[in-house]
Amino acid sequence: AASFRYVYDLYAGMTLAAEKLNNQGIQVNLHTYDIKSDAQAFRNAEKKAGFSDLNLVVGPLYPATNTLTQKFVNDHNLIHIHPTSNNLSLLAEAKNTFLMQPSHAQQAKKALDYAASAGLPKTVSVYFGEARKDSVFAGIYAEEARKRGYTVSEIRKFTGQKLPPQRGHVFLAADNNLG
């Protein structure tokens, strides 16, 4: 049930927001559909009464139904929010689509803005964890750092080893437990 915690928290937050808006005289009706990662479940939901009357779509949570959802959103000129993804490619051909999570590129830019504001030397060592997304994020960070004139001392997998003294700053792209 822990894997569904995010869904419950997201829905609870949406319910609170809808209640507050309704109290302010702004009519909000929430309709939930369990699409899972199944294209047929999406097609079945599309057939339900009221589905074509939506103004905003939050989701899907799983990549398997992204294409169907994006087509539906584009065909009906809806606002579309991806609550869990930070993949900028989802925005490529979607004028009304937004990410709730900042992209790796945006996170890299803001982290480098912070390093610059702290007056750190323009040198960075970049490390990443086991997951593919970690190495992708590390690559994006190193690329953005180079664009800004930073020297990237090294970029490699971090396995918990003791790091030598660093000049500048260290960037670690990994889950919270690795650092």
Quick: pLDDT tens for 39-61: 888 888 888 888 888 888 888 87
Q: Tens digits of per-residue pLDDT, 49-94?
A: 888 888 888 888 777 788 888 888 888 888 888 887 777 777 777 7
E runs forming strands in the chain: 56-58, 79-82, 97-99, 123-128, 151-157, 169-173
State both tokens at 143. 């690329």
156 in helix, strand or coil?
Answer: strand
Q: Which residue has the higher pLDDT, 158 or 64?
A: 158
pTM over 0.75: no
**CA within 13 Å, CB half, 88:** 9
Separation CA 13–CA 61 (nearest Å) = 16
Separation CA 44–CA 28 (nearest Å) = 24
pLDDT given for residue 176 in this prediction: 67
- pLDDT category at 142 given cuts 50, 70, 90 is very high
- pLDDT category at 21 given cuts 50, 70, 90 is very high
Q: Tens digits of per-residue pLDDT, 102-140?
A: 888 889 999 999 999 998 899 999 999 988 889 999 999
- pLDDT category at 153 given cuts 50, 70, 90 is very high
